[in-house]
Amino acid sequence: MKVGITGGIGSGKTTVCKIFEALGIPVYYADTRAKWLMAHDPVLVAGIKQLIGTKAYFGDGGLNRAFIAEAIFGNNEKLQKLNHLVHPAVAEDSERWHNAQKGAPYTLKEAALFFESGNDKAMDKMITVFAPEALRIQRVVERDQSNPESVRARMDKQMPEEEKIRRSDYVIHNDGQHSLIHQVMDIHRELLRLSQHYATR
């Protein structure tokens, strides 16, 4: 069974995934893996060079993220094209990864833009991690040594949290008021129960 987990910037997706990992559930971190694939998947590398130019890579093959960011800044068409290259590559890679997790009752795939990319359609269940905006800004500013304006600018590009919750099967409230561990345990138990049906399908 495939479970997707999402949430806005700083909502606590990674923190929640670490708890699932502690319970033995394998987690695919799509954003981290996407960066790796952009540097190592030959088909993707060729596509990116064609779209952005050979300067998208350093001499040693490393990804020149600053150059790519500049090339797509304010160019929505190029950004869309880049997404159309990267998203299918990640979808394929995560599918292969999922199939390799033989002993796991279910797997988790974590991504910031899940509904936005349409990748939620490949999942059996979706979880959204929710935290109030002010808390998210405070946490990200502290974590990244950034400023509230740049965090807000990134938030503005994401789907509203209410919409993500509406489209999800489960919501985890990471607002400092509810116990994360209890919420994860409840969902984990439910997913273990459901995964038995999937195993016998």
122 binding ligand ATP? (CB under 6 A):
no
| 183 sits near ligand ATP (criterion: CB under 6 A) | no
Q: Where does 108-172 have alpha helices with state H?
A: 133-144, 148-156, 161-166
Stretch that binds ligand ATP, among 11-19, 50-58, 97-105, 161-169 (CB under 6 A): 11-19
Radius of gyration of the chain (CA): 18
Nearer CB in complex with ligand ATP: 26/105: 26
Q: What is the DSSP string of 63-102?
A: B-HHHHHHHHTT-HHHHHHHHHHHHHHHHHHHHHHHHH-T
- Residue 146 or 196: the one with the smaller Cβ distance to ligand ATP is 146
- Tell me: does residue 33 bind ligand ATP (CB under 6 A): no
**Residues 134-153 as x/- pattern, contact with ligand ATP by CB under 6 A:** -----xx--x----------
The structure tokens listed for 6 are 């999402």
Angle at 14 between CA 198 and CA 66, to 5 degrees: 120
Nearer Cβ to ligand ATP, position 125 or 164?
Answer: 164
Rounded to an integer, what is the distance from CA 107 to the centroid of its chain? 14
Query: Which residues in 91-120 contact ligand ATP (CB under 6 A)?
Result: 112
DSSP SS3 for 181 = helix
Is residue 174 close enough to count as binding ligand ATP by CB under 6 A?
A: yes
Does 12 engage in binding with ligand ATP (CB under 6 A)? yes
Using the rule CB under 6 A, is 4 a contact of ligand ATP?
A: no
Q: Judge whether 63 and 35 are in contact, CB under 8 Å.
A: yes
| Site residues, ligand ATP (CB under 6 A) | 7, 9-15, 112, 139-140, 143, 174, 176, 180
